[in-house]
Amino acid sequence: MNRKSVRTAVLISGSGTNLQAFIDQTRDGSLDLDLSVVLSNKPGAAGLQRAREAGIAVECVEHSKFPIREDFDAALIAALDQYDPELIILAGFMRILTSVFIDHFSGRIFNIHPSLLPKYPGLDTHQRAIDAGDDWHGSTVHFATEELDGGPRVIQGRVPVRESDTAETLAARVLAVEHQIYPQAAALYASGRLEYRDGRAWLDGDRLDEPLEFSGALIN
């Protein structure tokens, strides 16, 4: 008997190339998820069009209409709960979420952050890596908690920083890695191998103290 695909909500604010990776991989059968809804805080987000073209339901909750963060989070919950999501994917969702949201979907929210966390939480990560003279940069998928970019790390993808790199060229290489590691993390979760418990990430029942390293090969 076929297991039911995990109902998934993807939250975006912008171009949605990570969303597109999820769409493409569920379509070609390499990722088993039910992409139930895509939600944006910006009505003009290009990612909403990607969702519409893929036939996925879209929701928009404009943060500017909610002066109080907790009220915005409550509106997000109301919009998402119509779809009863089991997994929440933050994919370039540029709002800080409060405990109202985090507690409601506790343990089933992923975020992707374009740095090798714990390095460079927050903004401008690519320029910060260049300015620091780092040899390596990359991206991290982690469980989202109330601490900004601070929840337990699940998987990291690295890219070398080149002498000639600008923030833009480096960002493009990081994005390509993101499109591989984010669906992988979701697949591990959907299969039941990866979970969040006691404030930690667990893989196959073992505590994941260090994130998995993405090396270009699929994690089996």
44 vs 205 by CB, closer to ligand GRF? 44
Q: Is 149 in the site for ligand GRF (CB under 6 A)?
A: no
Given 8, 10, 18, 165, the residue binding ligand GRF (CB under 6 A):
18
- With a CB cutoff of 8 Å and minimum separation 6, the contacts of 219 are 155, 184, 188, 212
- Is residue 129 near ligand GRF by the rule CB under 6 A? no
Asked whether position 14 contacts ligand GRF by CB under 6 A, the answer is: yes
Nearer to ligand GRF, 17 or 202 (CB): 17
* CA dist., res. 38 & res. 60, Å (int): 9
Residue 15 near ligand GRF by CB under 6 A: yes
Per CB under 6 A, does 98 bind ligand GRF?
no
Which residue in the set 33, 85, 92, 183 belongs to the binding site for ligand GRF (CB under 6 A)?
A: 92
Closer to ligand GRF by Cβ: residue 12 or 161: 12
69 class by beta-carbon count within 10 Å (0-12 exposed, 13-18 middle, 19+ buried): middle
Active-site residues: which are they?
113
Q: Which residues bind ligand GRF (CB under 6 A)?
A: 12, 14-18, 47, 91-92, 112-114, 139, 175, 178
